[in-house]
Amino acid sequence: MGAMRLCRRDTGESWEVEEGHLLGRLKACHVRIEDSSISRKHAAIENREGTLWIVDQGSSNGTFRNGQKTRAFPLLAGDLLTVGKVALDVVGDETDSARNGGEEPQTEVQESQAEAERAQLRRELAAPRRSKGFGDLDQQPVEIKLLAVVLGGGLLWGMMELVQWISARMEGGAPV
């Protein structure tokens, strides 16, 4: 089992990980990441049959390996680990046979497919995200902004008319 490191993509921070290490926001964590999307004790590093595994500790935002949410998985060199919204590269001196559980090395086609998937995940993580709902009005086209202003103004005018009508009824007079 070689030395494994986690390298944070956005800041370049790097941590060597070993069995028993914790990843989270707490000061007691060996891999301490100050980010609100990460739980206080987000994940733990375990040794399972000579291989380091990362095990989610019931975190709110989950732990992902190459874009797939999972509770526990082996740390393999070249993988993309995402905890909360933070992307970490797994770096180590794993050999192809260790990476494949002692099987024959992957074919060139399989390796290129895996690299293409990783590149796609990296692009998706780096791309700015837009709200899937109505979201922030600044994200909407001018026409939608104008419609929101008109509807808001109409609603306000209607509410003022309703208050005047109720007020006139309560005083016993005719509507204005």
Q: Residue 58 pLDDT > 70, yes or no?
A: yes
pLDDT of residue 136: 62
**Mean pLDDT to the nearest integer, 19-46:** 94
* Overall average pLDDT of the 101-108 stretch: 51
- E strand intervals along the chain: 4-8, 14-17, 22-24, 31-32, 43-48, 51-56, 63-65, 68-69, 72-74, 80-83, 86-92
Residue 99 has pLDDT above 50, yes or no: no
> Averaged over 27-56, what is the pLDDT?
93
148 versus 100: the higher-pLDDT residue is 148
CA proximity to 3, closest of 55, 15, 63? 15
Report the 10 Å Cβ neighbour count for 134: 10
Name the amino acid, one letter, at 111.
Answer: E
Taking all residues of the chain, what is their mean pLDDT, rounded to a whole number? 83
Please determine, for residue 103, whether its predicted confidence score (pLDDT) is greater than 60. no
pLDDT at 96: 40
- Is 60 exceeded by the pLDDT of residue 150? yes
Kindly tell me if the per-residue pLDDT of 114 is higher than 80. Answer: no
Q: Is the pLDDT of residue 131 over 90?
A: no
175, pLDDT greater than 60:
no
- pLDDT above 70 covers a percentage of the chain that reads 78
Predicted confidence band of residue 119 (pLDDT cuts 50, 70, 90): confident
Question: Residue 129 — very low, low, confident or very high, per pLDDT cuts 50/70/90?
Answer: low
Report d(CA 89, CA 76) in Å as an integer. 10
